[in-house]
């Protein structure tokens, strides 16, 4: 029962926060912001909790884990040294809106909560064999949609140019796809090799029941 309540609460919280973030973007007159993968990822992970689908959760963690770790490093670096390492979190400290800052704090908790969700749902590993495919299809569709909409000033999901100022590879589209594909495959491999996410771990399950 304790485990079930925790999973449902996580799902409701993540879906609600994701919708709040999207809604705030629309209210600001910047509807393009609803395509940020972090916001979409929160909602999909939340849905994965509600329907107890570890494959959905893992598909989003494949996309988000490494980029958000880099953002978190930037955030902590600025708090300690007043400088960021990659330039990813600079906007947070320049943003005047408290609401926008509160929403951006999802970068700090999304991966820990996503990992917790994957641990609690614990579908068998062989049922998650398609997670990386979902990740790649989602990223490809987002890239195409954003290119068609062609609003480059917000650079949503770093589709138009590198989010790290001192990295400007050419041709950029090819570099973007190679990078995100490598991120997905590497992250998927690491999660699937982590035994704590396999439902056969009876001792871990008993502690949560």
Whether residue 84 lies inside any domain: the answer is yes
Q: What is the pLDDT of residue 208?
A: 40
Q: What is the pLDDT of residue 2?
A: 82
Residue 103 burial by Cβ neighbours in a 10 Å radius (0-12, 13-18, 19+): buried
Whether residue 208 lies inside any domain: the answer is no
Distance CA 190, CA 29 (A): 39
Q: What is the pLDDT of residue 205?
A: 44
Whether residue 206 lies inside any domain: the answer is no
Q: Check: CB of residue 85 under 8 Å from CB of residue 74.
A: yes
Q: What is the pLDDT of residue 1?
A: 66
Tokens of 73: 């490093």
Q: Check: CB of residue 191 under 8 Å from CB of residue 118.
A: yes
Whether residue 71 lies inside any domain: the answer is yes
Distance CA 151, CA 76 (A): 30
pTM of the predicted protein model: 0.90
Which strand (E) or helix (H) includes residue 117?
Answer: helix 106-121
Q: How many domains does the chain have?
A: 1
Residue 65 burial by Cβ neighbours in a 10 Å radius (0-12, 13-18, 19+): buried
Whether residue 111 lies inside any domain: the answer is yes
Q: What is the pLDDT of residue 129?
A: 78
Q: What is the dihedral of CA 53, 57, 62, 66, to 10 degrees?
A: -160
Tokens of 193: 């090799």
**Torsion sign over Cα 124, 208, 119, 50:** positive
Whether residue 34 lies inside any domain: the answer is yes
- Domain range for 29 is 2-198
Q: What is the pLDDT of residue 151?
A: 87
Whether residue 209 lies inside any domain: the answer is no
Q: What is the DSSP string of 34-89?
A: GG-HHHHHHHHHHHHHHTT-HHHHHHHHHHHHHHHHHHHHHHHHHHHHS--SSSSS
Q: Check: CB of residue 45 under 8 Å from CB of residue 135.
A: no
Residue numbers in the chain where pLDDT is lower than 50: 125, 201-209
Whether residue 204 lies inside any domain: the answer is no
The proportion of the chain whose per-residue pLDDT surpasses 70, expressed as a percent, equals 91
């Amino acid at each position: 029962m304790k485990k079930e309540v925790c999973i449902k609460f996580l799902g409701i919280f993540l879906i609600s926060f994701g919708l709040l973030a999207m809604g705030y973007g629309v209210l600001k007159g910047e509807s393009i912001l609803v395509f940020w993968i972090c916001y979409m990822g929160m909602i999909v992970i939340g849905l994965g909790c509600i329907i107890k689908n570890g494959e959905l959760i893992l598909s989003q963690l494949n996309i988000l884990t490494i980029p958000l770790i880099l953002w978190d490093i930037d955030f902590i670096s600025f708090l300690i040294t007043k400088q960021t390492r990659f330039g990813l979190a600079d906007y947070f400290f320049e943003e005047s809106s408290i609401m926008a800052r509160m929403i951006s704090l999802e970068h700090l908790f999304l991966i820990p909560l996503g990992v917790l969700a994957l641990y609690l749902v614990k579908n068998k590993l062989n049922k998650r064999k398609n997670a990386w495919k979902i990740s790649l299809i989602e990223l490809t569709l987002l890239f195409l949609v954003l290119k068609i909409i062609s609003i480059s000033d917000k650079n949503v999901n770093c589709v138009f140019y590198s989010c790290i100022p001192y990295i400007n590879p050419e041709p950029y589209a090819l570099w973007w796809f190679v990078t995100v594909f490598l991120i997905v495959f590497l992250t998927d491999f690491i999660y699937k090799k982590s035994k704590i996410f396999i439902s056969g771990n009876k001792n871990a399950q008993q502690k949560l029941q």
